[in-house]
């Protein structure tokens, strides 16, 4: 069994994509996942799965949700060590306000001009760093005030989901 972290996109946000976490944990367990846990209500799942599912964890999770709950959220999945790597590679390791530092996680290859599209939207002092599977975004005035946040998925051209540093740490601790 491998320990996986699966992040769902657009779950329980603004009344859309409703997904009760207790029912989700039960459905995942019934389907063969073990030691299933969720963090808050926004689609952060930690679970152990057999190697037979390893190559398709994100699709397996999305398909199960579609069959059980009637809607198919986008899912991104990493092993526990890979997920920990995002936190360890963080170029802004000691922000004054950890909840402002966001990790825009993705799979696939982002558009080559993604940073050029986003840079004009930065406020003074706002920073971002792009790595192969994460755009680290540090808006010291607050994430909600940043113009960059809403444009990240379009600029990267790949499905993304964002979590702040506090959530990333809590999810990893849960794993």
Question: How is residue 120 annotated by DSSP?
Answer: G
pLDDT single digits (tens) 89-104: 999 977 788 899 999 9
pLDDT single digits (tens) 36-92: 999 998 899 999 999 888 779 999 999 999 999 999 999 999 999 999 999 999 999
Distance CA 149, CA 122 (A): 10
Query: In sequence order, what are the residues at sequence separation of 6 or more whose Cβ sits closer than 8 angstroms to the Cβ of residue 119?
Result: none
Rounded to an integer, the average pLDDT of 13-34 is: 90
Two tokens at 10? 């657009």
Task: Give the pLDDT of residue 166.
Answer: 95
CATH, range 2-82: 3.30.70.1280
The residue ranges of every structural domain in the chain are 2-82, 89-174
pLDDT band for position 14 (cuts 50, 70, 90): low
| Among 37, 9, 18, 15, CA closest to 175 | 37
**Measuring CA to CA, how many Å separate 35 from each of 4, 46, 50, 55?**
10, 8, 12, 19
| Among 39, 37, 16, 55, CA closest to 163 | 39
């Amino acid at each position: 069994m491998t320990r996986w972290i699966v992040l769902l996109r657009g779950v329980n946000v603004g009344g859309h994509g409703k997904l009760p976490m207790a029912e989700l944990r039960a459905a995942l367990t019934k389907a063969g996942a073990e030691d299933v846990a969720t963090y808050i209500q926004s689609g952060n799942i930690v679970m152990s799965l057999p190697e037979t599912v390893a190559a398709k964890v994100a699709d397996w999770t999305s398909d199960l949700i579609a069959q059980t709950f009637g809607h198919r959220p986008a899912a991104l999945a990493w092993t526990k060590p890979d997920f920990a790597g995002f936190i360890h590679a963080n170029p802004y390791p000691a922000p004054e306000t950890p909840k402002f530092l966001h990790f825009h996680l993705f799979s696939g290859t982002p558009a080559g001009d993604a940073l050029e599209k986003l840079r004009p939207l930065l406020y003074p002092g706002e920073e971002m760093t792009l790595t192969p599977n994460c755009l680290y975004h540090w808006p010291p005035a607050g994430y909600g005030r940043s113009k960059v946040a809403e444009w990240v998925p379009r600029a990267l051209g790949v499905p993304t989901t964002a979590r702040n540093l506090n959530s990333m740490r809590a999810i990893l601790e849960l794993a």
